[in-house]
Structure 1
């Protein structure tokens, strides 16, 4: 069993086509920056550019008045996830108002962690799940008994860590349950962090309908 961790890899350019948090979104021509549909109506903040095998995931979350908009709810309108094709993407013009960009752009590299299936007992409600195990063991060594877990910015694919089934979002187009796409962690420092309220973020997608969703635990 394998888990693909996303690891902080220093700063990078704001319009990089590689995996990153922060910077400016890359989108097809004609894309309009999303606005919060929860309470404030202001532009959302761009969180992450995540190339995957079936396209590019682009994640936005409202940060204009943290705590006021229900950004933890996939259906609140306070967040957006887009699934773009890989071709013909270009930097998007940034709105002049609202909290739209992170202070820094962080490069992401992936690291595959192989897990022993015997460590995971699906029938044991108290057993750690694959993401939890992979993250807890990152860079663990004699001088780092707790690892360097803040370097972990999340993971790609797999299953949503400890998320209850009744919180799995439905596709707004076909009403089917969306597939889990990625975890997001806040980050390594104040300058690079995505504000998730200290929670774990979950990205979902319906590939057939090209729809996405985001929530926190």
Structure 2
């Protein structure tokens, strides 16, 4: 997922920031004493909604609720070159894709800050025992996405300087979010 400029705050395009979209009747939940880095806590709640009939949610008047900027996201498919295999070890696909994004000759980091995450694949730098368990069926959840904090202070999600991970249980329509 690559940064693609700004987006309207209530847009239905893939984005970070802005106003959440949800079905009619959804209420923004406030959490006064949640464990912020605990996947099943209210602070990291993941909601899965069908795309149809989504509308902007009323934003609470108090608390830190929105990022100062909304960033559009575009997708860029990356394929790994098997020749880049280092001493028979499989490279971490996410790190390889991120470090190679738009690197110009002689440029040390390229446009790595424009990478906002990835969809699918496997979780990078996450211990196996950190995979959340579905609260409904008690099975391990499936990895869905990595999230980076953002490219500027205005676009940065507070992930404590770490990667964010989204997991889901398709059968139970449950989701979880955590950081490493």
Q: Equivalents in 2 of 1:144, 1:170: separation in Å?
A: 42
Structure 2, unaligned stretches of length 5 or more? none
Structure 1 residue 73 displacement after superposition: 2.2
Aligned to 2:74: 109
The answer (yes or no) to whether the contact 1:132–1:161 under 8 Å persists in 2 is: yes
Structure 1 residue 117 displacement after superposition: 3.3
Structure 1, unaligned stretches of length 5 or more? 1-5, 42-68
Deviation string 1:168-197 (CA, Å, 9 cap, x unpaired) is: 001111111111111000111001111111
Q: Equivalents in 2 of 1:27, 1:75: separation in Å?
A: 20
Is residue 2:151 matched to residue 1:188? yes
Runs of 4+ more than 3 Å apart = 117-121
Aligned to 2:142: 179
Is residue 2:139 matched to residue 1:144? no
Aligned residue pairs, count: 179
Question: TM-score scaled by structure 1?
Answer: 0.78
Pick one of 45, 50, 53 that aligns with 1:80: 45
Question: TM-score scaled by structure 2?
Answer: 0.93
Q: Equivalents in 1 of 2:50, 2:139: separation in Å?
A: 21
Deviation string 1:127-148 (CA, Å, 9 cap, x unpaired) is: 5410010001001011523211
Deviation string 1:57-111 (CA, Å, 9 cap, x unpaired) is: xxxxxxxxxxxx6422213332111111010101100011111101011000110
Deviation string 1:107-131 (CA, Å, 9 cap, x unpaired) is: 001101111235357x74xx54100
**Where is the strand percentage greater, Structure 1 or Structure 2?**
1
Residues 1:120 and 1:156: Cα distance change in structure 2 (over 3 Å): farther
Equivalent residues in 2 for 1:83-94, closer than 5 Å: 83-94=48-59
Q: CA RMSD in A?
A: 1.6
